[in-house]
């Protein structure tokens, strides 16, 4: 058995070694408990074992499955980016790639130029304007 590691690095994320594998993988941005469980089942690893006790080879295998889950027969309905706008393929993105794709998706959304400064305030009775400090009279 390998020595216990307090910090384990998987998918460019530091994970606490005291946590179970399934729940530690949940801390990687873009991975939830069901996907982490699917990774453990695919590799034949006990998901409730401490992630600090796993061998270096198992860490590399987990990292490889996270990077390309389709190659390891994880069903595409578990991916977080199906029918990608750019490529049309099903893929699973994690960490910084997930944030990059999210920002690009928001930038692609159409905006029709509505003003929000003075609209949508009719029922609240708030008036938008410039507040000036009153002059003090001596």
SS3 assignment for the chain: CCCCCCEEEECCEEEECCCEHHHHHCCCCCCCHHHHHHHHHHHCCCCCCEHHHCCHHHHHHHHHHHHCHHHHCCCHHHCCECCCCCCCCCECCCHHHHHHHHHHHHHHCCCCCCCCCCCCCCCCCCCCCCCCCCCCCC
Return the minimum-mean-pLDDT range out of 6-15, 45-54, 58-67, 101-110. Answer: 101-110
Decide which of 1.10.8.50, 2.40.10.480, 3.40.50.2300, 1.20.120.330 is the CATH code for 7-78: 1.10.8.50
DSSP H/E element including 8: strand 7-10
Q: What pLDDT does residue 62 have?
A: 93
- The pLDDT score that the predictor gives to residue 57 is 92
pLDDT at residue 125 in the model: 58
Q: Is the pLDDT of residue 15 over 80?
A: yes
Query: What whole-number distance in Å separates Cα of residue 8 and Cα of residue 133?
Result: 57
């Amino acid at each position: 058995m390998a020595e216990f590691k307090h910090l384990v690095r998987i998918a460019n994320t530091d994970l606490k070694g005291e946590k179970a594998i399934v729940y530690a993988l949940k801390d990687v941005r873009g991975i939830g408990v069901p996907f982490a469980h699917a990774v453990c089942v695919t590799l034949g690893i006990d998901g409730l074992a401490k992630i600090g006790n796993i061998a270096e080879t198992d860490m590399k295998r987990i990292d490889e499955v996270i990077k390309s889950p389709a190659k390891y027969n994880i069903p595409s309905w578990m991916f977080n980016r199906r029918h990608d706008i750019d490529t049309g393929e099903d893929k699973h993105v994690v960490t910084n790639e997930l944030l990059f794709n999210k920002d690009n998706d928001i930038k692609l959304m159409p905006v029709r130029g509505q003003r929000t400064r003075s609209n949508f305030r009719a029922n609240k009775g708030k008036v938008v304007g410039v507040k000036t400090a009153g002059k003090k009279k001596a």
